Amino acid sequence: MKIIVTGGAGFIGANFVYYELANHPDDEIICYDKLTYAGNLETLKFAETNPHFQFVYGDISSRDEVYKLFEIVAPDIIVNFAAESHVDRSIEDPELFLRTNIIGTSILLDACKKYGIKRYHQVSTDEVYGDLPLDRPDLFFTETTNLHTSSPYSASKASADLLVQAYQRTYKIPATISRCSNNYGPYHFPEKLIPLMIINALHDKNLPVYGTGANVRDWLYVEDHCAAIDLIIRNGKVGEVYNIGGHNEKTNLEVVKTILKILGKSESLIQFVTDRKGHDQRYAIDPAKIERELGWTPKTKFDDGIQKTVAWYLENRAWWEKIISGEYQNYYAKMYGNR
Ligand code: NAD
Ligand code: TYD
C-alpha cells in the first residue's frame, strides 16, 4: 500500500510516519510537507534511511504540485495532517489558515477525484465542536454534536470537514474523518502548552498561564492517536466520523503543576497572563464509537505519558534548542512580551 502523509514533518504526522513504518513495514510511506515553521526534517531523520520512506517537498494548496504528486506516486491512501495548527497564530493572522486548511484540503480532494484513491482520511480536531461549560462535567462531544467553532483555526478545520463530507457524498470520494482531542508527546512544537512549559521551566523562565488556568483540555498521548488513525484508514467505514480521546481531562493549571513537579521546579514560576481571546473553556471527547466499532482503546495514561514526554524533552535537547534559537524568539517576544 502507498500512503501519502501530508504534514508528516510536523508533530503528529511524524509520529504517524514512525508508527506506520514500524507497524506496516511492507507499506510505502510518502511524506508530503511544505516545511513551514512547524515542519522539521530533523524530526524525520530516523525514517530517512528506511527504503520504504520518501520525503517530497510541497504545498497542499498548490494544485500543480499536488497533481504532480498524485501522478508520480499514484497513492492508495492519503492521510491529511497538513495544516496551520496553532490557535494563537490564527487569532493574529487568520488568512494563511484559510488557504492551507480549507483550500489545501479542497485541492487534495480534487486530486482524489481526478486520479482516484482507495481512502482519503482527514485529520480533524475536537475544536470543531466549540467548547463545553466548565460546570457541566456530564457533557461530552459525540460525532453528532453540532459544529460550533470559536477561533479562525477551528473554523478553518470545520470548513475542511464539511468539504470532505460534501466530496464524499457528491463525488463518492471514499473519505473518513477523525476528530481528536489535544495530543502530547515527542516532537511537539515548542510553542504549544506542554513543550512550552517544559522548556521554560528548564530555563527557570516564567510559565505563562492564560487567564486563571481553569480551562480544561482532554489530553491524549500522540501514539494512541496514531494507532486510532491507523485503524480508521484500514477498517473504518467510508463516510464516517470518528471521535478520538482518552478521558484524560485536566485543567491547564494541573498540567503545568505536574510538569513543575516532575522537573522539581517551584510553582512560583507560574505567571498568570492575559487570557486568549475567545478562549474555549473545556474540550471532552466521548470515544465510545471508535472503541465499539474499531476496538480502539488508548494505551497510555496521562501520568505515564507526561513522564515519558518530559523525559523525551530532557533527552532531546538538540532538537528543541535548534528550534527555539531561531524565529521562535521573535514569536515569543511578540506573543508574550507585553502580555
Ligand atoms: P503541526 O503544526 O505540528 O504540523 C503541521 C505540519 O503541516 C508541518 O510539518 C507543516 O510544515 C505542514 N504544513 C503546513 N502547511 C502546509 C501546506 N500548505 N502544505 C504542506 N504541508 C504543510 O501540527 P500537528 O499538531 O502535528 O497537527 C497535525 C494535524 O492534526 C492538524 O491537521 C491538526 O489540525 C490536527 N490535530 C492536532 C491536534 C493537536 O493536539 N496538535 C489535535 C487534534 C487534531
Ligand atoms: P494549545 O497547546 O495552544 O492547544 P489548544 O489551544 O489547541 O487547546 O493550548 C492548550 C491550552 O493551554 C489552552 O487552553 C491555552 C493554554 N495555554 C496557556 O495557558 N499558556 C500558553 O502559553 C499556551 C501556549 C497555551
User: Side chain identity at 124, as an amino acid letter?
Assistant: S
CA distance linking residue 43 with residue 31, whole number of Å: 12
**Confidence band (pLDDT; 50, 70, 90) for 270?**
very high
What is the Å distance from ligand 2's center to 7 Cα?
21
* pLDDT score at 58: 98
CA distance linking residue 326 with residue 38, whole number of Å: 12
CA distance linking residue 198 with residue 313, whole number of Å: 8
What is the Å distance from ligand 2's center to 162 Cα?
25
Own/partner contacts of 62-65, CB < 8 Å, gap of 24 or more, are 62/107, 63/107, 63/110
Cell numbers linked to 225: 492517536
What is the Å distance from ligand 1's center to 14 Cα?
10
User: From the CB of 250, is ligand 2 less than 6 Å away?
Assistant: no
User: From the CB of 217, is ligand 2 less than 6 Å away?
Assistant: yes
User: From the CB of 216, is ligand 2 less than 6 Å away?
Assistant: no
What is the Å distance from ligand 1's center to 188 Cα?
11
Ranges of H-type helices in the chain: 11-23, 63-73, 87-92, 95-97, 104-115, 152-171, 193-202, 222-235, 252-263, 288-294, 302-315, 317-324, 328-336
pLDDT tens digits for 176-188?
Answer: 999 999 999 999 9
Average the pLDDT over 237-258 and give the result: 97
* pLDDT score at 7: 98
Ligand 2 pocket, mutate which of 252, 257, 269, 271 (most atoms under 8 A from CB)? 252
CA atoms within 13 A on the CB side of 200: 27
What is the Å distance from ligand 2's center to 239 Cα?
31
Average the pLDDT over 147-168 and give the result: 98
Phi/psi for 240 (5° steps) reads -95, 155
CA distance linking residue 69 with residue 240, whole number of Å: 26
CATH number, residue 259: 3.40.50.720
**Confidence band (pLDDT; 50, 70, 90) for 326?**
confident
Going by the DSSP 8-state scheme, the letter that residue 236 receives in this structure is P
- Catalytic residues, by residue number, are 126-127, 153
Strand order from edge to edge, sheet including 28-33: 53-57, 28-33, 2-6, 77-80, 119-125, 175-180, 241-244
What is the Å distance from ligand 2's center to 202 Cα?
19
Average the pLDDT over 196-218 and give the result: 98
Q: Give one word for 185, left, alpha or beta, with left for phi > 0 and alpha for psi -120 to 50.
A: left
User: Which ligand is nearest to the Cα of residue 177, counting in written order?
Assistant: 1
Q: Are 281 and 139 in contact (CB under 8 A)?
A: no
Ligand 2 pocket, mutate which of 90, 125, 183, 192 (most atoms under 8 A from CB)? 192
CA distance linking residue 202 with residue 14, whole number of Å: 25
pLDDT tens digits for 63-113?
Answer: 999 999 999 999 999 999 999 999 999 999 999 999 999 999 999 999 999
CA distance linking residue 149 with residue 155, whole number of Å: 5
Round the average pLDDT of the chain to a whole number and report it. 97
Phi/psi for 241 (5° steps) reads -110, 140
Q: Are 175 and 80 in contact (CB under 8 A)?
A: no
* pLDDT score at 308: 98
pLDDT tens digits for 26-58?
Answer: 999 999 999 999 999 999 999 999 999 999 999
User: From the CB of 209, is ligand 2 less than 6 Å away?
Assistant: yes
In Å, what is the CA distance from 287 to each residue of 201, 245, 291, 334? Answer: 33, 6, 6, 37
* pLDDT score at 338: 82
Ligand 2 pocket, mutate which of 89, 153, 193, 276 (most atoms under 8 A from CB)? 193
Average the pLDDT over 322-336 and give the result: 90
User: From the CB of 192, is ligand 2 less than 6 Å away?
Assistant: yes
Flag whether pLDDT at 244 surpasses 90: yes
Q: Are 219 and 182 in contact (CB under 8 A)?
A: yes
Q: How many domains does the chain have?
A: 1
User: CA triplet 161, 164, 165: central angle to 5 degrees?
Assistant: 90
CA distance linking residue 301 with residue 9, whole number of Å: 26
* pLDDT score at 69: 98
Ligand 1 nearest atom to the CA of residue 99, by list position: 18
Residue 175's SS3 state is strand
Ligand 1 nearest atom to the CA of residue 12, by list position: 26
Range of the domain at 6: 2-336
